[in-house]
Structure formats: C-alpha cells, structure tokens
Amino acid sequence: MNKGELVDEIADNAGVTKKQADTILTALTETIMETVSSGDKDSLVGFGSFEARDRKARDGRNPRTGKKLKIPATKAPVFSAGKVFKEKVKG
C-alpha cells in the first residue's frame, strides 16, 4: 500500500476528506520523525514504538571491489511492533 492508498483508507475509515486525511497522516509521520531524531521514543499503545538505536562501528566489505572498509558508528530508526499488532498479523 502506498501513501495515496493509505490516505484513501484513512479518509474512508474516519469519515473525513482525503485532504484532511493526508494532512493528518503527514503530521503524524513528521511528528514521529522529529521525536525519534531528537533521541526520544514514540509509543502508540497496541501498535508499536519508534526509537533511534546506536549501531556500533564495524568492519565491512565493498561487494563490487571486495575491498575491506570501516563502517562508522551511527544511529538507525527502529520500529518494534506492539502486542495487538503482532496478534493481528498472526491471525
């Protein structure tokens, strides 16, 4: 499902216009990105949580040349599904 299809579903389920649904979805995603990028954790009970985790520096290899290289430490966004979401997917 792409963003346009998601906006359509939100509009249908919430009984709002597509423009309102798009505004809400954009605000939600931007808020989550801002919260996580500032180092905080964002949790939606039942759905899941978003956070940034540190990744250690590590050795790697360029697959094209085979040359060894150092991959620096970084932060990566991580999503952990909540209990309700996991149960829904299991069926």
Q: What is the pLDDT of residues 37-56, one digit of tens each?
A: 999 999 999 999 999 999 99
Statement: residue 68 has pLDDT above 90: yes
CA distance 22 to 3: 9
Right CATH for 3-90 from 4.10.520.10, 1.10.1040.10, 3.40.50.1000, 1.10.3470.10: 4.10.520.10
pLDDT more than 90, % of the chain: 99
Confidence at residue 9, expressed as pLDDT on a 0 to 100 scale: 97
Enumerate the domain spans of the chain: 3-90
Whole-number average pLDDT of the chain: 96
Name the burial class of residue 57, with classes exposed (0-12), middle (13-18) and buried (19+) by CB atoms within 10 angstroms of its CB. Answer: exposed
CA distance 57 to 7: 39
